[in-house]
C-alpha cells in the first residue's frame, strides 16, 4: 500500500506559547504528514512536551493555529483517530486496581466494544500473556508496551509518544523501538515521538524536529544531526554520538 506523504495530519502555524511571562515556544510552524515517523528532540526545558500538549489540545497556544486532520483544534472531535502515550504513564499508583486488559480496553473509548481488537493489540506488543495481571505489577518497560497497546486498541491513525522509554532498561528499549518501527512500516501508522535521546531519534525516525524555544525541521535525521544547525540549537561544545544499525 502506497502512503500519500503529502497529506497533512498535523498542521502547526506560527505557534507561540508563554508561561508566567516567559516565552517557552516562539513562532513554530511545521506539518506532520501521513505515514511520517517524526522525532522531536531538544534539550530539557526546551519546550518539547509543551509543543506536544499544544498539538493534542491539552494546552492552548498564546499565538498561532493547530489543525488536526484538517480541523481546527478548538472544535476538533475526531479524537478516536488519535492515540497518546503520555510521559508519566508509569507514574500512577502501583496498587491501582486495573488489569492489563482493562487498561487496553480503555483505549477503545468512544468506539464499540471489541475484545478481539483488544487482544490483538496486546499480541502486537507481545503482552498477551499478561492480560489478567494488574498494571502495577508489571515492570516499567512492560507497562509502556501496555500503553502502546492501549493506544493501538483505539485503531488510531496517529500516535503521540512523550518520552516513552524513561526509566526503561536498554534491552527493553530496543524491543520497544522495534515495535514502533514495525507499526510505522507495516501498519503505516503515523508516529510522533518525543525523546531527549538524540541517538534514538537519529536511528529510528524518518523526520526530525529540534525544539529549543524555536524549531528546526528536517526530513533526514542523520544528516541533520551532523550539520551545524544542531549546534545552533543546543549551543556549541555539545558532542553527539551516533551509531548506525
Residues that bind another protein (CB under 8 A): 56-58, 77, 79-80, 82, 84, 86, 89, 92-93, 95-99, 102-103, 106, 109-110, 134, 137, 154
Q: Which is nearer to another protein, 84 or 177 (CB)?
A: 84
Q: Which is nearer to another protein, 41 or 56 (CB)?
A: 56
Residue 211 sits at the vertex; the CA angle it makes with 164 and 43, to the nearest 5 degrees, is 65
Spatial contact of 89 and 148, defined as CB atoms under 8 Å apart: no
Q: Which is nearer to another protein, 28 or 82 (CB)?
A: 82
Least distance (Å) between residue 116 CB and another protein: 19
What count of residues does the chain have?
A: 245
Q: Which is nearer to another protein, 84 or 176 (CB)?
A: 84
Q: Which is nearer to another protein, 33 or 131 (CB)?
A: 131
Q: Which is nearer to another protein, 109 or 242 (CB)?
A: 109
Least distance (Å) between residue 3 CB and another protein: 24
Select from 176, 175, 153, 152 the least CA-distant residue to 164.
176
Residue 200 sits at the vertex; the CA angle it makes with 29 and 148, to the nearest 5 degrees, is 80
For 60-185, strand residue ranges (E) read: 63-68, 71-72, 82-85, 158-162
Least distance (Å) between residue 130 CB and another protein: 13
* Cα distance between the two ends of the chain: 26
Least distance (Å) between residue 187 CB and another protein: 20
Q: Which is nearer to another protein, 128 or 134 (CB)?
A: 134
Least distance (Å) between residue 239 CB and another protein: 34
Give the span between the Cα atoms of 54 and 193, in whole angstroms: 15
Residue 108, classed as helix, strand or coil, is coil
Give the span between the Cα atoms of 166 and 77, in whole angstroms: 31
How many other C-beta atoms lie within 10 A of the C-beta of residue 64? 16
Least distance (Å) between residue 22 CB and another protein: 17
Task: List, in order, residues 6 or more apart from 87 with CB less than 8 Å away.
Answer: 49, 162, 163, 164, 166, 194
Least distance (Å) between residue 169 CB and another protein: 23
Amino acid at each position: 500500500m502506497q502512503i500519500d506523504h503529502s497529506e497533512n495530519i498535523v498542521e502547526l502555524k506560527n505557534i507561540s506559547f508563554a508561561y508566567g511571562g516567559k516565552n517557552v515556544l516562539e513562532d513554530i510552524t511545521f506539518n506532520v504528514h501521513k505515514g511520517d515517523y517524526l522525532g522531536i528532540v531538544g534539550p530539557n526545558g526546551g519546550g518539547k512536551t509543551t509543543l506536544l500538549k499544544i498539538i493534542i489540545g491539552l494546552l492552548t497556544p498564546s499565538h498561532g493555529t493547530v489543525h488536526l486532520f484538517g480541523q481546527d483544534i478548538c472544535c476538533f472531535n475526531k479524537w478516536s483517530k488519535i492515540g497518546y502515550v503520555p510521559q508519566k504513564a508509569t507514574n500512577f499508583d502501583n496498587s491501582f486496581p486495573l488489569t492489563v486488559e482493562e487498561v487496553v480496553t480503555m483505549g477503545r473509548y468512544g468506539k464499540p466494544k471489541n475484545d478481539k481488537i483488544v487482544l490483538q493489540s496486546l499480541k502486537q506488543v507481545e503482552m498477551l500473556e499478561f492480560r489478567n495481571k494488574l498494571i502495577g505489577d508489571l515492570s516499567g518497560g512492560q507497562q509502556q508496551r501496555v500503553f502502546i497497546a492501549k493506544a493501538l486498541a483505539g485503531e488510531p491513525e496517529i500516535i503521540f509518544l512523550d518520552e516513552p522509554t524513561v526509566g526503561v532498561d536498554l534491552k527493553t528499549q530496543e524491543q520497544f523501538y522495534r515495535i514502533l518501527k514495525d507499526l510505522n512500516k507495516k501498519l503505516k501508522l503515523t508516529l510522533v515521538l518525543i525523546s531527549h535521546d538524540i541517538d534514538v531519534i537519529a536511528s529510528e525516525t524518518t523526520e526530525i524536529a529540534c525544539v529549543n524555544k524555536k524549531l528546526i525541521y528536517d526530513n533526514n535525521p542523520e544528516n541533520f544531526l551532523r550539520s551545524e544547525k544542531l549546534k545552533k540549537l543546543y549551543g556549541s561544545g555539545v558532542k553527539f554520538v551516533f551509531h548506525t544499525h
